[in-house]
Amino acid sequence: MSASSRFYEPSLSGVRVTREPPIGSVIVCEIYQLFDHTGIYIGDGHIVELAGTGLVRAVSFSRFLQGRSGEELLVVVDGTGKPLAFDQAAERAISALYTYRPYDLLRYNCHRFCFECIDGRRHDITSFFDFKSAIQQRFRTQVDVKRIDWRPALR
């Protein structure tokens, strides 16, 4: 079994992630079925997110969902359903922890922060649609999201 194939398995509804997502994956949740929130998975059940206060912080899967309407975590995948993982995204996200960014819902949000972690440069990204389009253009791959059926063990 290849390293990338161990993270997903086919199901009747497409592909679902059944194991821990790769470090550097982009994790997504819905907000009232109108918006999406994104963060970078750094391992050990933690996601780095840009909070609405502008603080870059690491949170658990349950905290990432807290206060949002979505009950499911999703991961950004390529056209074959394999989670897209970016090693440098995890490194950049970790180095940004506990810093503040000039958060603005349209001008500097979680999607822009995540793409900067992936690409290392600033881009004009205002929505999850823009984020997915930027990934598709930058890496020349189809982009989708799939449900994560894995959760870290409680300690």
Q: How far apart are CA 110 and CA 100, in angstroms?
A: 12
Q: How far apart are CA 88 and CA 97, in angstroms?
A: 14
Q: Does residue 97 sit within a domain?
A: yes
pTM of the model: 0.87
Q: Does residue 154 sit within a domain?
A: no
Parent domain of 12: 5-147
CA atoms within 13 A on the CB side of 46: 12
Q: Does residue 152 sit within a domain?
A: no
**24-70: per-residue pLDDT in tens?**
999 999 887 778 999 999 999 999 999 999 999 999 988 998 876 66
Q: Does residue 153 sit within a domain?
A: no
Structural domains of the chain, count: 1
Q: What is the mean pLDDT of the chain?
A: 85
Q: Does residue 130 sit within a domain?
A: yes
Q: What is the domain-level CATH number for residue 9?
A: 3.90.1720.10
pLDDT for 151 equals: 76
